Amino acid sequence: MNTTGYLAIKEHIFSNLKKVAGVLPAGKIEEEVNNIKGLITAITYEMFAKVIAVESLEELNDEDWARMVRELETHFDVKMETGILIQGDEQQDRDNNWWTSIEKQKNIKRYWERYKNHIASFLPADVVRAIDIDTDIVMNNIENPTIPNFSRYGMVVGHVQSGKTGNYSGLVCKAADSGYKFIVVIAGGMNNLRNQTQERLNESFVGQSNGVQVGVGKGDNDKSATPFSLTTVLRDFNMHDADRASQGINFETISVPVLMVIKKNTSTLKSVISWLEKQYKNKVADHAMLVIDDESDYASVNTKDEEDPTAINNGIRKLLSLFSRSAYVAYTATPYANIFIDHEAENESVGKDLFPKDFIYALDAPTNYFGARKIFLDTQGQHIIEVSDFEDTLPSGHKKDLEVHDIPPSMKQAMLVFLLNIAVRALRGQGSAHNSMLVHATRFTAVHQEIAAVITESLEEIQADVTAYGKLPNGTSQSINIQNLAEVYHDSFNRTEFSWKEVIDKLTDLIGTVVVREVHQKTAVPLVYRKDVPTNAIVVGGTSLARGYTLEGLSVSYFIRNTVFYDTLMQMGRWFGYRSGYEDLCKIYMPYSKVADFAEIILNTEELLQDFKVMADNNMTPDKFGLAIRQNPNSALQITARNKQKNVREFTYSMQLDGKAKETSVLSSKAQEIEGNIDAVKALINKLPSQFENVNSHFLWRDISPAEILAFLNSFVTFQNDPLGLTARMPISFVIKFVQERNVNWDVVLYSGQGESYPINSQVSIKKEKRKIITKADGNFELQNRQVSSGNAEAVSLDDAERKRVGTNRVDARQVMARPLLMLHIIEPNPEIAGHNALAAFGASFPGDASTDNETITLKINTVYYNNLLQEVEADKESDD
């Protein structure tokens, strides 16, 4: 295929489609492609080349035209819903339409309009529309800057790598339009993220970088309103630079907005505060300040007593206290830490803590977002390669003195896939785009350096062979490296798209451009994505990459880092984002345990969002949302780990089970307990009434006494030393106490599957449920993806109409359930377990939702057991990368 000609025709069609106002009608893309195809047929390729001002065009085949339609659809057929808002009690009584009803109508909106025009050139129309509405809603909640005295605290929750920077860039533009004079963006704790954030705000708001027009500033000849930035792409804030840059400027009367993009660093915050105190002798009364705290769950949360707040938390609060008019908006994809802030905490010298008491706004992601659900749940594992061959070379519990002499075979394979991706993307016409591979295998800088050295050695061998033999007809017989590349291409790629010869020829041209870059505290050669040439980099790093930093063109990730924290794990997922035109090439190499962790986090996070929607519908407040997270059974691990960090030996834990479901997804491998649990299920069934309902081959008993449920729970053996259910996924102590305290009747269901017949008694016979079983390191059994039941399992107790309405939406099923549901399973394990043809498992589903106002279940937890379970928390403290 002639790539240049293909791209020229596609760009012409793209320009035509951009001229269509609003969202494209159905079929418009295919219609436009067919129109151009017909025009070329009528006037010839040679004549059409003159029409679109290119030298020549080669003929496209039917597959080329079909591919063009698909690629255009990935851009234009994108939908994005607006977000969801919950507000504090005081906020609900304020003027929450000051921006959209009054100010936006009369305001020139200079900064927003040019930003909107800028992003409209590359974002789908529906995404631009959603950003406009989302930022309008946040504007309505941060307060009119002309109001004499105010302090507002809010939080915007997005998805990892989903475009939060683009959202708050829009907020910055609108805030500046409305009259906010000082805008401080607190970026991550690393220089690379601060620099990247500054570069993006230069493009989206300032319009120039080092005197050169960029982004929104291109073609804008009116320099009078250019925002004044006290920081640059290469330099964080310091007082000397600020004094020099602001000579002759009176900040009392300055007419343009002032921007600072600063690192989340104690000394930087102190410098900003000192400089502002020097400019303004008293509290700033006439100018409003907007503080945007990017990745706000990192370092901003106070983890000490309120009498002595942590330094960064103290600095942010002190900064806000300098202004009579201030708005603080936290941006994060993982709000777990933020909701642990005491919403009533206040310190006389630095003011209120940063809890988002006024509003929380949850953003949606566009349909082309390459997110966690798509990767780990919806695509049957097509992007996941499970690895288990790293323990000999990169053992899980290694220390910082580990010597690395080789890399695992799976990492070598990942490197080959990445090199082939570079060639395939170039053949697809994406040769000017950056390409990255991530290797995240340790928490220690010294080990990153060792890994990078071995990768570099391996890469140089491949580069030498491909350069020497790549274009020879017998290259595969001349080099084992080329032979390995050919085998990987044959096994892992769509060979009908490009021939092996096309791919190896292109790779031979590009192989010399591939580099290895380290990103950590002691980086020598920085990772740079230049504007003028594409970067092809294997990036070795960890924590320094785990917060907001975007790896451009990331298509292969090798991830074996371990952590107990949901938020940390999600932030390490740099592979989320947008992969238009190469999503099919993306691969993630990780151990099964991490795949299961991500799948579990996704389901828990989605359930949390469902709670958020319910709370919004019921006008519930941010502090109620924080309480809901703290009491969610799926948050137990996070809370326990944080208590561990504070050296708490014993603590009281309250769990809200209403509207939740828990299952025994980890089962004992002890023969006596396997048989005992089977007997417990049979004993319960034998005690149930002889009248039952048959629902889709499942057996259902209604209105069963809690005494029968309690007897079963006391006889079924789970991990008795784990009352919170962190290892067994079943907080059995809380479920038992729920049965005792609530004293309500239950429904009981015994499911029938597709396996062998299994009689329970003379009346009840089922087919076992087939499930894949993973044997864990401790010898116990884990059901694949930690799921015991299927999507519609909890709807079994509903009537036919309700069952049909809720379908597989388990949260909706719980909202309308009449009674708690005990779910019994007889599992047919795959692979077979010697001596056991069945395993017993159970789940408990509780009616209600986030608005349910029942008493929580509270237990006193002794943390001695968890000291060992959560030792990874302590290990994380040792990280130095």
Question: Which residue did the predictor score with more confidence, 224 or 638?
Answer: 224
* 719 has pLDDT over 90: no
Can you give the pLDDT at residue 872?
56
3-state secondary structure 555-584: EEEEECCCCCCHHHHHHCCCCCECCCCCHH
Q: Where are the alpha helices (DSSP H) in 497-645?
A: 500-510, 566-571, 592-617, 622-631, 636-645
Residue 606 CA to residue 617 CA, distance in Å, equals 17
**Sign of torsion, CA 719 722 726 730?**
positive
**Which run of H or E residues covers position 633?**
none
Angle at alpha carbon of residue 103, lines to 99 and 106, rounded to 5°: 145
Helix (H, G, I), strand (E, B) or coil at 521: coil
Residue 216 CA to residue 119 CA, distance in Å, equals 9
Instruction: Quote the percentage of the chain above a pLDDT of 70.
Output: 91
Helix (H, G, I), strand (E, B) or coil at 540: strand
Can you give the pLDDT at residue 607?
80
Can you give the pLDDT at residue 223?
85
Instruction: Quote the percentage of the chain above a pLDDT of 90.
Output: 59
Q: Could you report the per-residue pLDDT of 778-797, keeping only the tens digit for each?
A: 888 999 888 899 889 999 99
Contact (Cβ atoms closer than 8 angstroms) between residue 864 and residue 648: no
- Average pLDDT (3-22) is 86
- Average pLDDT (194-212) is 94
Helix (H, G, I), strand (E, B) or coil at 753: coil
**Which run of H or E residues covers position 325?**
strand 323-332
> Of the segments 25-34, 167-176, 804-813, 860-869, which one has the largest average pLDDT value?
167-176
Question: Which residue did the predictor score with more confidence, 818 or 605?
Answer: 818
Can you give the pLDDT at residue 786?
85
Helix (H, G, I), strand (E, B) or coil at 25: coil
Inter-CA distances, 639 with 276, 340, 717, Å: 38, 9, 25
Q: Could you report the per-residue pLDDT of 242-280, keeping only the tens digit for each?
A: 888 888 788 888 899 999 999 998 999 999 999 999 988
First to last CA, the chain: 45
Can you give the pLDDT at residue 332?
86
* 308 has pLDDT over 60: no
DSSP secondary structure letters along 648-705: -SEEEEEE--TT-EEE--EE---HHHHHHHHHHHHHHHHHS-S--EEETTEEEEEEE-
E-only strand ranges, 375-477? 384-386, 435-440
Can you give the pLDDT at residue 301?
61
Side chain identity at 758, as an amino acid letter? Y
* 548 has pLDDT over 80: no
Sheet architecture: strand order including 384-386: 384-386, 587-590, 554-559, 435-440, 536-541, 514-519
Work out the widest C-alpha separation in the chain, in whole angstroms.
94
Residue 586 CA to residue 541 CA, distance in Å, equals 19
Pairing of strands 587-590, 554-559: parallel
Task: Please count the residues of the chain.
Answer: 881
Q: Could you report the per-residue pLDDT of 447-464, keeping only the tens digit for each?
A: 999 999 999 999 999 999
Residue 789 CA to residue 792 CA, distance in Å, equals 8
Q: Nearest-CA neighbor of 81 among 139, 117, 134?
A: 134
- Average pLDDT (716-722) is 76
- 33: tokens are 């492609």
Backbone angles phi, psi at 183, to 5 degrees: -125, 115
Residue keyed to tokens 């002798």: 281
**Sign of torsion, CA 803 809 815 819?**
positive
User: Is residue 501 packed enough to be buried (19+ CB in 10 Å), middle (13-18) or exposed (0-12)?
Assistant: exposed
Give the list of residues 6+ apart from residue 381 with CB closer than 8 angstroms, or none.
Answer: 595
Q: Could you report the per-residue pLDDT of 145-179, keeping only the tens digit for each?
A: 999 999 999 999 988 778 888 999 999 999 999 99
- Average pLDDT (496-522) is 94
- 801: tokens are 């109409």
Side chain identity at 218, as an amino acid letter? K
Q: Could you report the per-residue pLDDT of 340-372, keeping only the tens digit for each?
A: 555 555 665 566 778 899 999 999 888 888 888
Can you give the pLDDT at residue 539?
96
Does residue 124 have a cis bond before it (omega within 30 degrees)? Answer: no
Q: Could you report the per-residue pLDDT of 32-81, keeping only the tens digit for each?
A: 999 999 999 999 999 999 999 998 898 998 888 998 998 898 888 888 88
Tell me the average pLDDT of the chain: 88
Q: Could you report the per-residue pLDDT of 669-710, keeping only the tens digit for each?
A: 999 999 999 999 999 999 999 999 999 999 999 999 999 999
Residue 203 CA to residue 197 CA, distance in Å, equals 10
Q: Could you report the per-residue pLDDT of 627-672, keeping only the tens digit for each?
A: 777 777 777 766 656 555 455 556 777 889 999 999 999 999 999 9
Helix (H, G, I), strand (E, B) or coil at 186: strand
**Which run of H or E residues covers position 710?**
helix 706-715
Contact (Cβ atoms closer than 8 angstroms) between residue 767 and residue 758: yes
- Average pLDDT (374-382) is 83
- Average pLDDT (364-385) is 85
Question: Which residue did the predictor score with more confidence, 563 or 420?
Answer: 420
